[in-house]
Amino acid sequence: MNTTELIKIINAGENSQVQFKQQLKAKQADDIVAELVAMSNFQGGKILIGIEDKAANIIGLDFETIEKVNNYLFNWATNNVKPAITIFTETVSIDGKLILVVTIPAGIEKPYCDNNMVYWIKSAANKRRVSPEELKRLYQNAGKLYAERQPIEDTSISDVEMLIFKDFYQKRYKEDFETEQLSRLMTNLRLLKGDKLTVAGALLFGKNLDILLPEFHISMVSFWDNEFITNDYRDSENFTGNLLFQYKQALSFILSILRKPQGNQSFNSLGIPEIPKLVFEEILINALVHRDYFINDSIKLFIFPNRIEIKSPGKLPNSLSIEDIKQGIQRRSRNIVLTSFVSDVLPYRGIGSGILKSLKAYPNIEFENNTTAEYFKVTIYRPKID
């Protein structure tokens, strides 16, 4: 194998990380275990042992050292990482010198920690300790913790909009209930935990959400021109309230600013919206239902003369890609309670057809799944109207 083939090994995992070690000794256990944990908690990676300074200087290893290093690695991966991980090693010859290529797959039992209960994750070429919020999201991605099921302090059953919940319950279960049954029913539906509303319960049926969940709203800014970096804006507003209210407010505003040209119609006909209403119905609902509620931030609605952007906190869940969602592929939602009940509150079908329907109605849409900055953005380009 030559250096060119080595580069192919390094680039084999598009999103994985690569670390280089000139040598590996027993005293490096803590550092190497932290690397194993960080890569397992991220998207996997490789450690190339016997190379100094990113392949600029190939030192090489002898057979005895390779055997010793393999023993260290497999012992640490089994006994020093919790839960234990599986790694793969391969000895390769580069210009007559032996190096050890260690492959660490992306973990399937995240989150991982070391023996000191420290959780690590990759950050660019380095590793760092996981923050409490990031740890929650790692548990969330593993299906071990759900933001929507967390109880909200200083809430109670009195924070429920009774009329909205009654309408939902009658629509879904075809029966009425007595007021004194409300607490039991909402607890059974995972909308109440103890005596406190859960995040899902508040989002669906809560009142005064600007106080209960002040970060979870839609922030709208309308710009004069097509540049995001500016000191001037045309309009700015926050759409707050439960999911139904936020949806109605945002949709109504978008429809009010859409141009409605005459086209080929007669003078007495109503104008046709430049972008079909269906597109915003589907994308707004997806943003509200599927966003990451462990990230304390609002959904951003940016309106420019040439485009409309809807930016949701949180990347696509469960390793979904943009191509997956374009094909209608679904996986377990990060917000199971919301997706279970929201179809009786919002015009939501939950069968993975929203993006497909939007693209069919209006193909000039782009998607960005930013896994580093943790957001998912939909850009709908506005047509030029003469």
CATH number at residue 278: 3.30.565.60
167 in the same domain as 73: no
Give the pLDDT of residue 333.
79
For the cut 80, the answer to whether the pLDDT of residue 143 exceeds it is no
101 in the same domain as 159: no
Inside any domain, residue 256: yes
For the cut 60, the answer to whether the pLDDT of residue 51 exceeds it is yes
183 in the same domain as 113: no
Going by C-alpha positions, the residue among 13, 94, 90 that lies closest to residue 56 is 94
Give the pLDDT of residue 332.
73
Q: Which residues pair with 366 in a beta bridge?
A: 379
| Distance from C-alpha of 273 to C-alpha of 261, rounded to nearest angstrom | 7
For the cut 70, the answer to whether the pLDDT of residue 145 exceeds it is yes
Of all residues in the chain, what percent carry a pLDDT higher than 90? 65
Inside any domain, residue 136: no
Phi-psi group of 50: left, alpha or beta (phi > 0 → left; psi -120 to 50 → alpha; rest → beta): left
Inside any domain, residue 140: no
199 in the same domain as 91: no
316 in the same domain as 188: yes
> pLDDT tier at 279 (50, 70, 90 boundaries)?
very high
Place of tokens 């070429």: 125
For the cut 90, the answer to whether the pLDDT of residue 231 exceeds it is no
For 34, 50, 136, 140, the CA distances from 132, given in Å and listed in that order, are 17, 36, 6, 12
Inside any domain, residue 156: yes
The H or E element that residue 196 is part of is strand 196-197
| Distance from C-alpha of 101 to C-alpha of 46, rounded to nearest angstrom | 7
Domain boundary among 107, 130, 153: 130
The amino acid that residue 263 corresponds to is G
Give the pLDDT of residue 5.
62
Report whether 179 contacts 198 (CB < 8 A). Answer: no
Number of domains comprising the chain: 2
Going by C-alpha positions, the residue among 381, 204, 384, 237 that lies closest to residue 309 is 381
For the cut 60, the answer to whether the pLDDT of residue 103 exceeds it is yes
215 in the same domain as 81: no
CATH number at residue 109: 3.30.950.30
pLDDT digit string, tens, across residues 66-93: 999 999 999 999 999 999 999 999 999 8
150 in the same domain as 124: no
Inside any domain, residue 383: yes
Give the pLDDT of residue 386.
62
Look up the domain containing 261 and give its range. 145-386
152 in the same domain as 123: no
pLDDT digit string, tens, across residues 14-35: 455 888 899 999 999 999 999 9
Q: Which residues contact 196 (CB under 8 A, 6 or more apart)?
A: 151, 152, 153, 155, 156
> pLDDT tier at 270 (50, 70, 90 boundaries)?
confident
Give the pLDDT of residue 6.
64
173 in the same domain as 104: no
Domain boundary among 80, 95, 130: 130
For 199, 329, 342, 350, the CA distances from 332, given in Å and listed in that order, are 19, 11, 16, 11
Report whether 357 contacts 282 (CB < 8 A). Answer: yes
Give the pLDDT of residue 294.
92
Helix/strand/coil (H/E/C) assignment for every residue in the chain: CCHHHHHHHHCCCCCCEEEEECCCCHHHHHHHHHHHHHHHHCCCEEEEECEECCCCEECCCCHHHHHHHHHHHHHHHHHCEECCCCCEEEEEEECCEEEEEEEECCCCCCCCEECCCCCEEEECCEEEECCHHHHHHHHHHCCCCCHHHCECCCCCHHHECHHHHHHHHHHHHCCCCCHHHHHHHHHHCCCEECCEEEHHHHHHHECCHHHHCCCCCEEEEECCCCCCCCCCCCEEEEECCCHHHHHHHHHHHHHHHCCCCCCCCCCCCCCCCCCCHHHHHHHHHHHHHHCCCCCCCCEEEEECCCEEEEEEECCCCCCCCHHHHHCCCCCCCCCHHHHHHHHHCCCCCCCCCHHHHHHHHCCCEEEEEECCCCEEEEEEECCCCC
175 in the same domain as 66: no
Give the pLDDT of residue 238.
96
What is the pLDDT averaged over residues 354-371?
A: 92
Report whether 150 contacts 202 (CB < 8 A). Answer: no
pLDDT digit string, tens, across residues 310-342: 999 999 987 788 998 888 887 777 899 999 998
Inside any domain, residue 338: yes
70 in the same domain as 185: no
Domain boundary among 85, 104, 130: 130
Inside any domain, residue 195: yes
Range name among 159-168, 198-207, 253-262 with the lowest pLDDT average: 253-262
Give the pLDDT of residue 62.
94
| Distance from C-alpha of 224 to C-alpha of 203, rounded to nearest angstrom | 32
348 in the same domain as 227: yes
More confident site: 15 or 228:
228
